[in-house]
């Protein structure tokens, strides 16, 4: 974004302006800042605060602009204008936040370490892992196994770190495929010495904890997953990427292709799709575990409108702080 001047009736006014592309289209948006004379009379701190505040307004305006376009272009979306606006605001806020962090290698590294500890604690905790965020961080940074924890819990945490680091270091993220699904499963269960790591289950004697949904019988797992993969690859441009990512997660859990690790892999597939499209990851913390599982049940009952709305609600609540401070807490503007 840049500061531009406009001459109106002999006076000069300042606007923040930004151009951006989306779906092959170019957009240009502007937000009024102040009259040039009034702006120049401000102190440096006051100028920085004013620009910071209007930068946030610009991101919000961008979200609404893109949502307006998407509502016309996405023929299969069930999301309304406000929901689309929120998603695009989260995306642009996240991009701005990471860009700001990237100015300092040490700050970015610190954020990534904190993110991994928080994220891994949450997604592992949903599956019954009892490591706290502090214990997870000490394990990842100092290799200190928390007292009273099982070896399986400890190895599960370390598996996740290995996966996230590999993902961060990839120049090109993998596409959705059987190979990708099995690769994720193999890494997440590798250190647990699971004999079935990286392989679909070969038995139909399995169930989904806390649900009466019956998973697919093992002879049709590959064919049903192929349908899900093909549907995703063929639906580009018809629904929002958040809907498509959530649908992958839902269908994956319904098929339940593995003997163990389905929840973790399903959420990673969803987040891989979001990451490929520059959206931040979907978090699940223990304090929303029951709500999250209830939302999944909505999807099981084919209430996709309720399912998407519930998932977006959790997503928005987690990233609420980011939308308020997309450039960090320091009130500055670049």
Kindly report the CA angle at 188 between 185 and 194, in degrees rounded to 5?
80
Q: What is the mean pLDDT of the chain?
A: 89
- Reference 246, options 227, 232, 258; nearest CA is 232
Helix runs in 127-177, H state only: 133-142, 151-168
Residue 277 has pLDDT above 80, yes or no: yes
221-236 per-position pLDDT tens digit: 999 999 999 988 887 6
CA–CA dist 183, 187 (Å, integer)? 6
92-146 per-position pLDDT tens digit: 899 988 988 898 999 899 999 999 999 999 999 998 899 999 999 999 999 999 9
Q: What is the pTM of this model?
A: 0.89
Q: What is the pLDDT of residue 209?
A: 65
Q: What is the pLDDT of residue 331?
A: 45
Residue 22 has pLDDT above 50, yes or no: yes
Residue 325 has pLDDT above 60, yes or no: yes
Tell me the average pLDDT across 161-172: 93
Q: CB 295: neighbour CB atoms within 10 A?
A: 23
For residue 179, give the DSSP letter.
H
């Amino acid at each position: 974004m840049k500061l531009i001047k406009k001459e109106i009736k002999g006076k000069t006014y300042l606007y923040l302006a930004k151009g951006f592309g989306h779906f092959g289209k170019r957009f240009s948006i502007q937000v009024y800042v102040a009259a040039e004379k009034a702006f120049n009379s401000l102190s440096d701190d006051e100028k920085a605060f004013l620009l910071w505040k209007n930068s946030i307004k610009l991101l919000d305006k961008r979200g609404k602009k893109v949502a307006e376009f998407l509502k016309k272009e996405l023929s299969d979306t069930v999301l309304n204008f406000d929901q689309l606006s929120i998603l695009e605001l989260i995306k642009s806020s996240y991009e701005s936040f990471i860009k700001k962090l990237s100015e300092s290698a040490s700050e970015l590294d610190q954020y990534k370490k904190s993110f991994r500890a928080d994220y891994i604690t949450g997604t592992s905790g949903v599956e019954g892992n009892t490591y706290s965020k502090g214990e997870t961080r000490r394990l990842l940074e100092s290799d200190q196994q928390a007292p009273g924890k099982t070896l399986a819990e400890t190895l599960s945490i370390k598996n996740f770190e290995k996966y996230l680091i590999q993902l961060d270091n990839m120049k090109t993220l993998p596409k959705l495929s059987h190979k990708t699904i099995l690769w994720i499963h193999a890494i997440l269960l590798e250190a647990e010495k699971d004999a079935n790591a990286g392989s679909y289950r070969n038995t139909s004697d399995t169930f989904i904890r806390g649900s009466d949904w019956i998973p697919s019988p093992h002879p049709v797992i590959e064919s049903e997953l192929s349908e899900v993969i093909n549907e995703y690859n063929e639906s580009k441009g018809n629904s929002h990427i958040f809907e498509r990512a959530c649908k992958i997660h839902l269908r994956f859990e319904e098929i339940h292709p593995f003997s163990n690790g389905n929840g973790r892999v399903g959420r990673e597939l969803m987040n891989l799709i979001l990451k490929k499209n520059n959206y931040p990851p979907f978090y699940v913390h223990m304090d929303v575990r029951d709500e999250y599982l209830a939302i999944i049940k909505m999807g099981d009952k084919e209430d996709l409108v309720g399912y998407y709305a519930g998932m977006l609600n959790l997503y928005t609540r987690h990233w609420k702080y980011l939308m308020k401070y997309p450039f960090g807490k320091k009130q500055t503007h670049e």
